[in-house]
């Protein structure tokens, strides 16, 4: 068994030749060659291997075949670490009995699994390979794959660079990747060829935005383990939704990218009293990208108003004029800017730096003991949740009735507080059955509706309405209704007993 540690970068096809030439000129190259690879991926009709997070393939090169199974591992940014088992075989059908029995869960019926194996999809690509030698006998293998994944008549292209650590520290992969990122339009990739093949097999549905998950952190894990888990999850949130956005220009996916950036800022806040400021600077840089995506909220309000026109404009005499104005607020320029931002070399380098920070634990201070990192995380989680409640209460005081504008401006504060619940709720409420979060979500919904109405007001201000007074009366009734909901939800939320105490 080998543990494959590799870094995947997605490559612009226009850069393939230039990137290949640049690799060939690296002084560390001791060997290079090119091969044509053909792979068949196998699973059962009901995707049993997929459910076990395993990928099974038979690879044929120069009439020699090898079966490989990759079992569940972890992905941090573009860094993939998965146990991998390889066995030479005759023919192109795998034999599961050639693998060690220990790789399977105890209740696996290997004979039934073998009998049920079916070909699922194929990958065919040209692979250019370079072997690089560094000091201390460190070795890195770099490949560029260019071809396609096929299932029936459907196919998707492959154009990626993979750097695999043969021997040496993972930092070597990141140093090389940063050099590539500074010269070429690449970005860290998460989805394996197998994952993309399964999507193709299932009809390649349009990928959906990935909403913020409720994490399952064990209260006994250390502060350092929690830092790794939380930061890795936030990085996945960023990259998963970045991929969705590139697939279909989804505004909702960009909103989830924003949530991932907010999450990074929250994580920095959680650990601010434990780690020195310099070691958290990378997380703080999320603010740079967040500012550049401020327009996304208005774009979502515009989309919602157009889709739910009867809810907001049914009684508006000038609704056709308002709809026409909303449609004229073209997002194409902003979408192009967002695409340029998320594919920029600066942003890709930041993602790589975050991956390296996590993989190499760059928060560790050389020569200094940091016992607080080894403490159980439960107390830190309680403190964070206490602070989150107080953080909201400062914006929404229990004894004050806020204006619509004040509530609209409180959306981000509520989002950040709820993020803390996503991180730590199940540590104290394992089944997530507590009703505690309900009023907080109601508050956020009310504040978002008030922000939407403020956006609609700005749109209408530029239009000559037939009956402005009627519109203002309708708008005021809406505001009062949502303000009442926010106030009721606020009182309920602030009065509830914390589930973490």
Which pTM was predicted?
Answer: 0.87
Residue 60: beta bridge partners? Answer: 38, 65
| Cβ–Cβ < 8 Å for 349, 182 | yes
Work out the percent of the chain whose per-residue pLDDT is above 90: 62
Q: Predicted confidence band at 310 (pLDDT cuts at 50, 70, 90)?
A: confident
Identify the CATH number of the domain in which residue 74 sits. 2.40.320.10
Pair 337, 189 in one domain: no
* Range of lowest pLDDT (25-29, 150-154, 449-453): 150-154
348 DSSP 8-state letter: H
Cβ neighbourhood burial of 230 (10 Å; 0-12, 13-18, 19+): buried
Residue 501 covered by a domain:
no
| Residue that terminates a domain, selected from 166, 201, 236 | 201
Pair 183, 232 in one domain: no
Residue 77 covered by a domain:
yes
Residue 453 covered by a domain:
yes
Query: CA–CA separation, 490 vs 479, rounded Å?
Result: 16
Residue 432 covered by a domain:
yes
Pair 360, 488 in one domain: yes
- Dihedrals phi, psi of 191, to nearest 5 degrees: -75, 125
**Model confidence pLDDT, tens digit, residues 155-197:** 999 999 999 999 999 889 999 999 999 999 899 887 888 888 8
Q: Predicted confidence band at 39 (pLDDT cuts at 50, 70, 90)?
A: very high
Pair 351, 491 in one domain: yes
* Range of lowest pLDDT (64-68, 190-194, 451-455): 190-194
| Cβ–Cβ < 8 Å for 135, 168 | no
Q: Predicted confidence band at 473 (pLDDT cuts at 50, 70, 90)?
A: confident
For the segment 476-483, the average pLDDT, to the nearest whole number, is 93
Pair 342, 227 in one domain: yes
Q: Name the token pair of 175.
A: 């140093």
Residue 211 covered by a domain:
no
pLDDT of residue 79: 60
Pair 286, 166 in one domain: no
pLDDT > 90? residue 450: yes
Q: How far apart are the first and last CA of the chain?
A: 45
As a whole number, the mean pLDDT across the chain is 89
Hey, is 385 helix, strand or coil?
Answer: helix
Residue 81 covered by a domain:
yes
pLDDT > 70? residue 78: no
pLDDT of residue 74: 60
Query: For residue 328, what are the domain limits?
Result: 223-495
- Alpha-helical (H) ranges within 69-222 are 110-116, 171-183, 193-201
Query: CA–CA separation, 164 vs 132, rounded Å?
Result: 10
222 DSSP 8-state letter: B
Pair 268, 306 in one domain: yes
pLDDT of residue 18: 96
pLDDT of residue 76: 59
For the segment 133-148, the average pLDDT, to the nearest whole number, is 94
Pair 319, 385 in one domain: yes
Q: Name the token pair of 435.
A: 């009703």
CB atoms under 10 Å from CB of 261, counted, come to 23
Pair 38, 138 in one domain: yes
- Dihedrals phi, psi of 244, to nearest 5 degrees: -65, -45
Q: How many domains does the chain have?
A: 2
**Model confidence pLDDT, tens digit, residues 198-247:** 888 887 667 789 998 889 999 899 999 999 999 999 999 999 999 899 98
For the segment 403-408, the average pLDDT, to the nearest whole number, is 94
pLDDT of residue 3: 57
* Range of lowest pLDDT (147-151, 283-287, 357-361): 357-361
β-strands 154-167, 74-76 pairing: unpaired
For the segment 447-465, the average pLDDT, to the nearest whole number, is 88
Pair 415, 450 in one domain: yes
Q: Is the dihedral of CA 87, 90, 92, 96 positive or negative?
A: negative
Q: Name the token pair of 204.
A: 């390649």
pLDDT of residue 315: 64
| Cβ–Cβ < 8 Å for 426, 214 | yes
**Model confidence pLDDT, tens digit, residues 340-356:** 999 999 999 999 999 99
Residue 60 covered by a domain:
yes
Query: CA–CA separation, 423 vs 132, rounded Å?
Result: 40
Pair 187, 227 in one domain: no
Pair 260, 348 in one domain: yes
């Amino acid at each position: 068994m080998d543990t494959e540690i590799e870094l995947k970068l997605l490559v612009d096809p226009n850069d393939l030749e230039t990137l290949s030439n640049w690799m060939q000129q690296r002084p560390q190259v001791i060997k290079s060659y090119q091969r044509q690879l053909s792979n068949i991926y196998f699973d059962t009709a009901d995707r049993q291997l997929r459910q076990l997070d395993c990928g099974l393939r038979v690879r044929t090169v120069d009439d020699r075949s090898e079966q490989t199974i990759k079992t569940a591992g972890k992905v941090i940014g573009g860094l993939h670490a998965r146990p991998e088992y390889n066995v030479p075989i005759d023919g192109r059908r795998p034999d599961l009995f050639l693998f060690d029995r220990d790789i399977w869960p105890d209740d696996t019926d290997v004979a039934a699994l073998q009998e049920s194996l079916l070909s699922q999809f194929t990958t065919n690509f040209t692979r250019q390979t370079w072997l690089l030698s560094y000091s201390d006998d460190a070795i890195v293998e770099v490949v560029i794959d260019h071809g396609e994944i096929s299932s029936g008549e459907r196919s998707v292209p492959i154009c990626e660079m993979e750097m695999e650590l043969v021997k040496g520290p993972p930092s070597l992969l990141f140093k090389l990747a940063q050099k590539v990122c500074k010269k070429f339009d690449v970005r860290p990739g998460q989805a394996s060829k197998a994952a993309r093949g399964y999507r193709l097999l299932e009809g390649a549905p349009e990928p959906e935005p990935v909403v913020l998950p409720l994490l399952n952190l064990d209260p006994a894990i250390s502060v350092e383990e929690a830092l790794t888990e939380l930061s890795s999850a936030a990085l996945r949130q960023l990259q998963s939704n970045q991929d969705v956005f590139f697939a279909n220009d989804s505004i909702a996916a960009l909103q989830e990218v924003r949530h991932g950036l907010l999450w990074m800022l929250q994580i920095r806040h959680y650990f601010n009293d434990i780690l020195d400021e310099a070691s958290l600077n990378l997380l703080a840089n999320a603010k740079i990208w967040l500012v550049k995506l401020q327009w996304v909220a208005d774009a979502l309000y515009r989309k919602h108003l157009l889709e739910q026109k009867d809810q907001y404009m049914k009684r508006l005499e000038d609704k056709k004029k308002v709809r026409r104005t909303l449609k004229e607020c073209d997002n194409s320029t902003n979408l192009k800017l967002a695409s340029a931002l998320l594919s920029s070399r600066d942003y890709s380098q930041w993602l790589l730096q975050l991956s390296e920070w996590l993989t190499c634990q760059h928060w560790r201070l050389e020569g200094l003991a940091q016992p607080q990192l080894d403490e159980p995380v439960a107390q830190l989680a309680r403190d964070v949740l206490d602070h989150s409640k107080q953080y909201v209460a400062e914006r929404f005081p229990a004894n004050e009735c806020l204006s619509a504008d004040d509530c609209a401006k409180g959306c981000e504060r509520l989002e950040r507080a709820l993020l803390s619940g996503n991180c730590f709720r199940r540590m104290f409420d394992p089944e997530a059955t507590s009703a505690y979060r309900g009023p907080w979500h109601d508050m956020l919904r009310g504040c978002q509706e008030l922000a939407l109405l403020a956006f609609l007001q700005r749109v209408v201000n530029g239009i000559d309405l037939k009956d402005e007074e009627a519109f203002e009366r309708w708008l005021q009734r809406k505001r009062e209704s949502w303000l009442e909901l926010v106030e009721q939800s606020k009182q309920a939320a602030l009065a509830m007993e914390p589930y973490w105490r």
